[in-house]
Structure 1
Amino acid sequence: MTTSLVPALQNSYSETQAHKNNHFSSCTLQWRRGQLLVKSASNTQKIHLPSLHDEELLVRCLEKTLVNVVSIDPNVGEYDLKLWVEACEQAGKPIFLRLPSSNKQFKQVSRWQKLIDWIAALFLLVIMSPIMLGLFVILQIESPGSAFSSEWQVGERGKIFRAIKFCTTSNLNITPLVHLMRKYDLDHLPQLWNVLRGEMTLMGSRTCTLENAVRITLAGQQQMNQLSKIKDAWEESSLLHLDSQTL
């Protein structure tokens, strides 16, 4: 089942709100055996479906459907990508960034490596827990508020997840502790939890931020398109050359 959908502005939205929220993108939804594919589409069909640009409605739709996995095209745009990622998180649906088959940066990790990473992460978490607790307490004293922050990252097979870390960016004055944590990457210690959850690995394939993953993917697609155009042009010129010889 394939449906072409273009988010339309509700009558209650003002022009300023619409411009602010960038509700001018379009996407195509394809449902295949419990997997929902979200891809970019042309403005050929305009169907009003508020749930596609309202996060609360989108979360309700995802919760009530039989969708098990969501796969999203990086070409849908920054607004729609963020909307779907956050909605899937609230609905408890895993979401993956669609990657070209030639991309080996986010390749699947073997079960043995996952087991080794899990054991190593658990061991390090036990050993480093007193240090992490001390850092948490000091950060709370220096800058009251949340001691943790998170960012969207892309891992194995393009899975999008929140990578947690100690918050060292909200400090207006760089304290010696913050400088030490950044220098020795101590702010990334909470990501051992991500390793235990199977979202990250200590060795092997690396993760990157969602923004960088989209940039890498789109750049790869553009390069492939350019190579394809060059190949087509070369084949066309070769055929014309052969025809001229025949004549």
Structure 2
Amino acid sequence: MQVSNVMLTIAKISVPDIPLLPGDPQVSPLSGCKLKWKRQWLWVSPTQSNPTKTLPALQNEQWFKECLVHSPIRAVYLSPDLDEPTLKAWMNTCECAGKQAFLRLPSITLPQKRYRWAWWIKRSLDWVVASLLLLLLAPIMLLLALLIRLDSSGPILYRQWRVGRRGKLFRVLKFRSMIDGAEQLHHQVMGSQPGLHKLKSDPRVTRLGGWMRKYSLDELPQLINVLRGEMSLVGPRPWALYDAVRIPRKECSRLNALPGITGAWQISGRSKLFDLETVNYLDLEYLRNWTIQEDLRILLMTIPRVISGVNAY
């Protein structure tokens, strides 16, 4: 409570603690969190037991957003032990407050530490190739945007939280291939499915969306993520939150890596590859044995797989 009170004081909001009402539907997922303030960083972890008292600001995401906006905090570090709804609530609040959110992860030796010059060349090529592809594919992307608008109601682009380099949380961009509001139906559709949350016959996918997914056209906007420095052309799988929270703690360090549009999982089975452990193993092997030549090999092998549309949905 001490940290939260200080935040409210800095935000010029002074209120006493009030009881947390059990079963109150208005209570935010933020209210079940323990905060620790260290210089310009806020560390967030789940409480060990159900709280009987909470700060009013933590019960209201809009109110707490104002506290963050007026605080000197620059980044929020979230424990991987937090559940998916709580992580999403924190990330949405941080995004609105203009603060960067990170998933707190164990360290790992990444390729950019071992091969600094080779990594610099890789990132330079990422920027050049992504820029050229965006220019060349702009007419196709504009046509797809028009078709999406005509095919179904909802936004053209789909923005979803993913785990990026050093645990940085970012919004991956895709052409919308599902009905509007599909994210809210995710767990209802997937149920208790083990492994990666993908379905061959997902009822939320639109007719146009199914065709775009077959040839990975829905992923073209991720070239913008590459230009932003959030992704690479080749790298480990960019994990969605609902998959990331189910990765065993001992394997969480792999989430530190810069994710890619394509990678070892893409050329080894695409959507047919469901097992979390297998995908993790492929990504870890890629990181251990990374070379520019390996990236070029993966890129060249991706092209025929995308054109064929095999095992993609």
TM-score of the pair, normalised by structure 1: 0.73
Alignment equivalent of 1:88, drawn from 61, 74, 94: 94
| Per-residue CA distance 1:99-149 (angstroms, 9 max, x = gap) | 1224869x9994443322122111111111100000111111122331221
Indicate the residue corresponding to 1:190 in structure 2.
221
Indicate the residue corresponding to 1:120 in structure 2.
129
Alignment equivalent of 2:62, drawn from 42, 45, 56: 56
| 1:26 Cα deviation after fit | 3.4
Alpha-carbon distance in structure 1 between the residues aligned to 2:250 and 2:173: 27
* CA distance 1:72–1:142, change in 2 (3 Å): same
For structure 2, the 5+ residue unaligned runs are 6-16, 181-203, 253-313
Indicate the residue corresponding to 1:179 in structure 2.
210
Indicate the residue corresponding to 2:25 in structure 1.
17
Report the 3-state secondary structure (helix = DSSP H, G, I; strand = E; otherwise coil) of the residue aligned with 1:95: strand
Give runs of aligned pairs for residues 127-138 of structure 1, distance below 5 A. 127-138=136-147
* 1:72 equivalenced with 2:78 (yes/no): yes
For structure 1, the 5+ residue unaligned runs are 222-247
Contact 2:176 / 2:209 at 8 angstroms: preserved in 1? no
Paired residue type of 2:123 = K
Indicate the residue corresponding to 2:197 in structure 1.
none
* 1:153 equivalenced with 2:159 (yes/no): no
Indicate the residue corresponding to 2:230 in structure 1.
199
| 1:199 Cα deviation after fit | 0.8
Report the 3-state secondary structure (helix = DSSP H, G, I; strand = E; otherwise coil) of the residue aligned with 1:138: helix
Please tell me whether Structure 1 or Structure 2 has the larger radius of gyration of its CA atoms: 1
Alignment equivalent of 1:170, drawn from 175, 179, 191: 179
* CA distance 1:92–1:132, change in 2 (3 Å): same
Alpha-carbon distance in structure 1 between the residues aligned to 2:205 and 2:3: 52
Alpha-carbon distance in structure 1 between the residues aligned to 2:205 and 2:43: 45
| 1:79 Cα deviation after fit | 3.1
Report the 3-state secondary structure (helix = DSSP H, G, I; strand = E; otherwise coil) of the residue aligned with 1:151: strand
Kindly tell me the number of residue pairs found equivalent between the two proteins: 214
| 1:50 Cα deviation after fit | 1.8
| Per-residue CA distance 1:38-96 (angstroms, 9 max, x = gap) | 12232498553122231101211111111111111021333321111000111111111
